[in-house]
C-alpha cells in the first residue's frame, strides 16, 4: 500500500463516519529530540487521524512566531533532515500506523536531492509531502519523485487564489488539497475568516479531492466549525503553544478535545462512495 493509498483510506473512513479528519502539526525535534516521539505517540493516542510533521528550516517563510520558535529550538538541538527521517522510521518501528505527511520547505529537499529525498521518505514510512514554497508550476521534478515512491505531494491554495490557480492545484495536488484559511503566516487566531465557507465552496466546485483547512484554527469551536465544512482540520500553532505550556499531557488533552468536537459536527457522510484513490 502506498502513502497515497493510506491517506485516501483515512479520508474514506472519516467521511463514512460523518466527520472531518483531525490532522495536527508538530515540529520534528520539538520540544526536544528525546521528547518528540513520545509527544507524537500521545497525540495519536488522543485521536489524531493523520499527522503533519515539520522538518525544521532556518527560514520558515509561511510560519508565524510560534512555529518559528519551535523550529529554531529544534535546529539549536541539532535537528537535520536525516534526523527527521530517523524519527519517522522510529515511529513506524514502534507500530505507528496513521499517515505521516512531512512538511518541508523546498531548500532542504533540493539540498538532499529530490529523488533521493523521495526514496528516503518512502523507506522510513512517510506518506506524503507538503512544501509551502513550491508552486505547481515548479513542482514537476518533485511530483515525479513522489509518484515513483507512492508519496502524495500536497499543494496549497489561499483565499486569494484565482479560478485558474484553483483548477491547476486541483489537478496536480495528491492526497488532499491544503486550504490556507487566511492570507499571511500560520498562527492561532481568535476568529475564523468570514469568507472561509465561500472559499471552501469555490474549491469544492471544481474537485472531489479531500480539502483540509489549516492556519489559524485554535479552539474546539473553530475546529468544529471548520470540520462541518471541510474534510480535514489542521491545527499547528495552537498545539505548539499547548506543548510549551502543558507538555505532553496538555497536548494529549487538547487533541482529545478537538477530536471530540469533530465527532459532534452532526453532519452525515459526504459522498461516502467517492473514489479518492486518484487524489
Domain that holds residue 22: 3-263
| CA atoms of 198 and 159, how far apart (whole Å) | 9
The answer as to whether 273 is a domain residue is no
Find the CATH number of the domain harbouring 199: 3.20.20.70
Kindly tell me the number of DSSP H helices and DSSP E strands found in the chain: 11, 9
Give yes or no for residue 274 having a pLDDT over 50. Answer: no
Rounded to 5°, the CA angle 72-75-80 comes to 145
The answer as to whether 268 is a domain residue is no
Least confidently predicted of 2-16, 19-33, 54-68, 85-99: 54-68
- Read off the pLDDT of each residue in 188-195 and give the average, rounded to a whole number: 62
- The mean predicted confidence, pLDDT, of the chain is 91
What pLDDT does residue 268 have? 52
User: pLDDT tens digits, residue range 42-62?
Assistant: 999 999 999 999 999 987 776
The answer as to whether 233 is a domain residue is yes
Locus of grid cell 500536497? 154
Q: Is 144 exposed, middle or buried (0-12, 13-18, 19+ CB in 10 A)?
A: middle
* DSSP type of residue 58: S
The answer as to whether 141 is a domain residue is yes
- Read off the pLDDT of each residue in 230-251 and give the average, rounded to a whole number: 96
The answer as to whether 270 is a domain residue is no
In this prediction the pTM is: 0.91
**CB 10, CB 50: distance < 8 Å:** yes
The answer as to whether 11 is a domain residue is yes
| CA atoms of 248 and 240, how far apart (whole Å) | 10
- Read off the pLDDT of each residue in 264-270 and give the average, rounded to a whole number: 60
> Would you name the residues annotated as active-site residues?
52, 63
What pLDDT does residue 95 have? 96
The answer as to whether 277 is a domain residue is no
The answer as to whether 276 is a domain residue is no
Locus of grid cell 502543558? 246
| 156: β partners | 178
Q: How many domains does the chain have?
A: 1
What pLDDT does residue 245 have? 94
Give yes or no for residue 185 having a pLDDT over 50. Answer: no
Give yes or no for residue 260 having a pLDDT over 80. Answer: yes
Percent of the chain surpassing pLDDT 70: 90
Amino acid at each position: 500500500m502506498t502513502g497515497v493509498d493510506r491517506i485516501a483510506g483515512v479520508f474514506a473512513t472519516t467521511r463514512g463516519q460523518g466527520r472531518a479528519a483531525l490532522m495536527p502539526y508538530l515540529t520534528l525535534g520539538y520540544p526536544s529530540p528525546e521528547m518528540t516521539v513520545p509527544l507524537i505517540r500521545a497525540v495519536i493516542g488522543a485521536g489524531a487521524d493523520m499527522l503533519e510533521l515539520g522538518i525544521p528550516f532556518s527560514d520558515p517563510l509561511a510560519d508565524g512566531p510560534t512555529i518559528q520558535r519551535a523550529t529554531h529550538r529544534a535546529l539549536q538541538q541539532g535537528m537535520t533532515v536525516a534526523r527527521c527521517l530517523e524519527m519517522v522510521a522510529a515511529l513506524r518501528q514502534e507500530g505507528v500506523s496513521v499517515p505521516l505527511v512531512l512538511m518541508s520547505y523546498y531548500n532542504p529537499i533540493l539540498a538532499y536531492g529530490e529523488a533521493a529525498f523521495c526514496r528516503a521518505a518512502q523507506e522510513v514510512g512517510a506518506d506524503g509531502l507538503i512544501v509551502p514554497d513550491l508552486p505547481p508550476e515548479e513542482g514537476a521534478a518533485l511530483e515525479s519523485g513522489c509518484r515513483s515512491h507512492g508519496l502524495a505531494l500536497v499543494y496549497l491554495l489561499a483565499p486569494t487564489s484565482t479560478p485558474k490557480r484553483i483548477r491547476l492545484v486541483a489537478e496536480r495536488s495528491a492526497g488532499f488539497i491544503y486550504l490556507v484559511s487566511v492570507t499571511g503566516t500560520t498562527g492561532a487566531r481568535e476568529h475564523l475568516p468570514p469568507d472561509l465557507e465561500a472559499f471552501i465552496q469555490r474549491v469544492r466546485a471544481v474537485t472531489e479531492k479531500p480539502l483540509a483547512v489549516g492556519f489559524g484554527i485554535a479552539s474546539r469551536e473553530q475546529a468544529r466549525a471548520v470540520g462541518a465544512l471541510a474534510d480535514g482540520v489542521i491545527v499547528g500553532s495552537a498545539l505548539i503553544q499547548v506543548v510549551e505550556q502543558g507538555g505532553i499531557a496538555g497536548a494529549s488533552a487538547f487533541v482529545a478535545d478537538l477530536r471530540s468536537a469533530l465527532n459532534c459536527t452532526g453532519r452525515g457522510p459526504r459522498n461516502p462512495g467517492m473514489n479518492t484513490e486518484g487524489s
